Structure 1
Amino acid sequence: MRFRGITKLSVDAKGRLAMPKNHRDNLEKNQIKELVVTVDSRSAACLLVYPMPIYEELERQLMELPNHSAEARKTQRLIIGHATELELDATGRMLLPAELRDYAGIGRKAYLIGQGKKFELWDENAWDLECEKWKQEGPDHGAGDAPAELLNISF
């Protein structure tokens, strides 16, 4: 199961948004009915949306981290502490809790971005600003901290 692509979505007044049909079909084909949405521990500007089995593996890995590590505890608090289980309704919509929408600043327009095993959910304006920042930084920005595996991929 892989999720790819970017889709612009509308968020209604109650915080509901529709999962795009291609992703909904992919979830159904893999018998996934439950999703988990949580915050991104590296960016306050987006939410992460996982199929339940993928999230459960991530949660297991996070809970195995040492409790004496401040960074591990912070990541656990953010990822696990904000995790909210969701189900798609009969029309393929999911209801985002107000606390999570507020955390990521998600308003009436959003982008759902496939990231392989999960999705990122961004407010439209935050995504546009992030994209503009990446354009300004240029292609080599951050190359100094790129893992060797990334440097060995030919795009």
Structure 2
Amino acid sequence: MFRGANGISLDAKGRLAMPARYRDQLVEQCAGQLMATIGIEDRCLWIYPLPEWHAIEEKLKLVPNMHPAQKALNRLLIGNASEIELDGNGRFVVPPRLREYANLDKKVMLVGQLTKFELWSEDAWEATTNAYLEQIQGGELPPELHNLSL
């Protein structure tokens, strides 16, 4: 399980270092093989260990692909998917097209989301986090979360 928000610097070649606390787990779980695609709800990237990504592809294959919404989802997720790999130093390159989509510059945030990571520009992460806090503190919780105990 991946959790926590990590501030990381993206170098001029589009590389970033995976935080050490995740490296061993990723090497063990997927030999450092990852899949990155666009986040469809926010301007971020979703990064999955390869086995997790394969499970998503299997789920997508089960849904009839003639429905316009399913076609769109497949085109967005699968059409923008790029394999990435941790190098010997625990770094990986974010493909230029994906960097552009998520507006990634020098300062980025890698955010653990249980079975995947989200990769955000630092500014977008801060803005989104503040917006979520305002919603929650303003009592704008969806009804299904009213009975959740934390």
TM-score by length of 1: 0.90
The 1-side partners of 2:68 and 2:141 are apart by: 25
Give the AA of the match of 1:37: A
Give the AA of the match of 1:10: S
2:1 is the alignment partner of 1:23: no
Give the AA of the match of 2:127: L
2:128 is the alignment partner of 1:133: no
Alignment-derived partner of residue 40 in structure 2:
41
Q: Is the 8 A contact 1:46 1:120 kept in 2?
A: yes
Q: Is the 8 A contact 2:37 2:81 kept in 1?
A: yes
After the TM superposition, which parts of structure 1 deviate over 6 Å for at least 4 consecutive aligned residues? none
Give the AA of the match of 2:33: E
Give the AA of the match of 2:111: I
Aligned length: 149
CA 42–31 in structure 1, closer or farther in 2 if over 3 Å, else same: closer
**Percent identity over paired residues:** 39
Q: Is the 8 A contact 1:34 1:52 kept in 2?
A: yes
Q: Is the 8 A contact 1:19 1:92 kept in 2?
A: yes
Bigger drift between 23-32 and 72-81 goes to 23-32
Alignment-derived partner of residue 91 in structure 1:
89
Which residue, out of 68, 75, 78, partners 1:77?
75
Alignment of 1:59-78 (within 5 A): 59-78=57-76
The 1-side partners of 2:27 and 2:103 are apart by: 29
The 1-side partners of 2:134 and 2:147 are apart by: 24
Q: Please, what is the CA RMSD of the aligned residues?
A: 1.4
Alignment-derived partner of residue 55 in structure 1:
53
Residue segments in structure 2 that go unaligned for 5+ positions in a row: none
Q: Is the 8 A contact 1:63 1:76 kept in 2?
A: no
CA offset at residue 27 of structure 1? 1.2
The 1-side partners of 2:45 and 2:30 are apart by: 23
TM-score by length of 2: 0.92
The alignment partner of 2:134 has SS state of helix
Give the AA of the match of 2:47: V
